[in-house]
Amino acid sequence: MPVITNIEDLRRIYERRTPRMFYDYAESGSWTEQTFRENTSDFRHIRLKQRVAVDMSGRSTRTTMIGEDVAMPVALAPVGLTGMQCADGEIKAARAAEAFGVPFTLSTMSICSIEDVAAHTKNPFWFQVYTLKDDDFMRRLFERAHAANCSAIVITVDLQLLGQRHRDLKNGLSAPPKLTVKSIANMMTKVPWGLEMLGTKRRFFGNIVGHAKGVTDPSSLSTWTAEAFDPALDWKRIAQFKEWWGGKVIIKGIMEPEDARRAAEIGADAIIVSNHGGRQLDGAVSSIRMLPAILDAVGDKVEVHLDSGIRSGQDVLKAVALGAKGTYIGRAFTYGLGAMGEKGVTKALEIIHKELDVTMGLCGETDVNRLGAHNLYVPQGFGDPTVLL
Ligand SMILES: Cc1cc2nc3c(=O)[nH]c(=O)nc-3n(C[C@H](O)[C@H](O)[C@H](O)COP(=O)(O)O)c2cc1C
């Protein structure tokens, strides 16, 4: 067993173990992948202030996100098809998150259903909804999420249309995978993955198959999004979803101050500054660079969270010190899951936690809630996307 010390180690194992179609699905951005790349590289422009000879003992990374206690300000982001990265993937990821004390967000596009995840966990999790045209389906999703005791919904607002990811089209991405010469040849090299997959019944979109009407090919993500998603979405509709749900709401996919204000006006409990991990609008600014402007606009009105590009505890620290109340990891936990199942998700969380904890100490801080701009060197113009860094 190799010694795993960072998230990149998990990614390498994940790449070896998982069929190409699903690895490519996670490890790509839309079109040229500029935004996908800049989401991670922009974190490196921010530097940390090293402090010495201050008491670094008794550190705590505990805080809250939307009023819920968390072991560190990191939640698992909603990731579609998680149950294809590893058999029963959503259940395994949810259990790892629960044991670690961080929130798990289940995607609408999951393989394990809401009911299934609820049956295999004890604590409430968060449920992510896409904004679909079908009112009946949406209302039933909310009812199902209530019945499963979900403590918040995450409404993803940046996917009215699907950003094109070339490799998904070339690979014919579907769940379960369509059996072609290419996909069979590749899967034959992924024996442990295949054996685990044969041992589970969960190989279809669990929240959709048998629940959604009028979808011609429920195994295809692109067919489903083209047919069911609402290109005419507006804030009135988002407010309607909030009312139908009646509980805590996090709005995901905000990149502009104007949109952040609209989300705050409809009474969201939190917003997530996110460009969907560079999978939607290629050419959009990295989310970490947009964070300061969004905090300026609504930081005193709504909790501001961030995702896209986080691969380490140092990244988490930078986002939190800039003012984010919480962060999410998408690919970082997916790598762990694909590499080593539930233990791999725990490993990803342990890596990020340790990096956050030690980095915090070396910055001279003992409480994650006390991090702030005083811990950072931020280049001039960082928060102004018209400035070239
Ligand atoms: C493979 C994959 C599938 C995703 N599926 C969803 C989804 O179903 N719903 C959603 O709101 N976001 C989805 N996202 C976006 C994530 O929630 C999150 O915004 C993104 O992964 C953050 O970037 P990171 O991967 O760099 O951490 C997905 C991301 C990936 C990588």
pLDDT tens digit string along 212-260? 776 777 777 778 778 889 999 999 999 999 999 999 999 999 999 999 9
Q: What are phi and psi of 175, to 5 degrees?
A: -130, 115
pTM value surpassing 0.85 = yes
Task: Report which protein residue has its CA nearest ligand 1's atom 11.
Answer: 156
- Using the atom order of ligand 1, give the atom closest to the CA of residue 40: 26
- Using the atom order of ligand 1, give the atom closest to the CA of residue 105: 17
Closest CA to 91 of 249, 201, 223: 201
Task: Report which protein residue has its CA nearest ligand 1's atom 4.
Answer: 79
CA distance 78 to 323: 22
User: Which amino acid makes up residue 24?
Assistant: D
Task: Report which protein residue has its CA nearest ligand 1's atom 15.
Answer: 276
- Using the atom order of ligand 1, give the atom closest to the CA of residue 276: 19
Give the residue, out of 79, 251, 281, 306, with the most ligand 1 atoms within 8 A of its beta carbon, to mutate for a pocket test. Answer: 79
Task: Report which protein residue has its CA nearest ligand 1's atom 28.
Answer: 79
Give the pLDDT of residue 365.
98
Task: Name residue, tokens 């702030």.
Answer: 372
Could you tell me if residue 10 is left (phi over 0), alpha (psi between -120 and 50 degrees) or otherwise beta? Answer: alpha
How far does residue 65's CA lie from ligand 1's centre (Å)? 19
Closest CA to 207 of 221, 193, 197, 196: 221
How far does residue 154's CA lie from ligand 1's centre (Å)? 12
Give the pLDDT of residue 374.
98
- Name the stretches of the chain with pLDDT < 70: 214
Spatial CB neighbours of 199, under 8 Å, sequence gap ≥ 6: 87
Ligand 1 pocket residues where CB is under 6 Å: 25-26, 39, 77-80, 107, 109, 128, 156, 252, 274, 276-277, 279, 307-310, 329-332
How far does residue 77's CA lie from ligand 1's centre (Å)? 6
CA distance 83 to 102: 20
Give the pLDDT of residue 217.
76
Closest CA to 204 of 119, 84, 92, 334: 84
- Using the atom order of ligand 1, give the atom closest to the CA of residue 328: 27
How far does residue 305's CA lie from ligand 1's centre (Å)? 14
User: 138-166, pLDDT tens digit by residue?
Assistant: 999 999 999 999 999 999 999 999 999 99
Give the pLDDT of residue 220.
77
E runs forming strands in the chain: 47-48, 63-65, 68-70, 74-76, 105-106, 126-130, 152-156, 248-254, 270-273, 303-306, 326-329, 376-377
- The CA–CA distances, whole Å, from 105 to 9, 150, 285 equal 24, 9, 24
Structure tokens at 370: 């006390």
DSSP letter at 367? B
Give the residue, out of 21, 25, 167, 279, with the most ligand 1 atoms within 8 A of its beta carbon, to mutate for a pocket test. Answer: 279
- Using the atom order of ligand 1, give the atom closest to the CA of residue 275: 19
Task: Name residue, tokens 């699903």.
Answer: 22
∠ Cα 22 24 26 (to 5°) = 75
The catalytic site residues sit at: 276
Give the pLDDT of residue 73.
99
Q: In this structure, are residues 326 and 305 in contact, taking their beta carbons and an 8 Å threshold?
A: yes
User: Which amino acid makes up residue 125?
Assistant: F
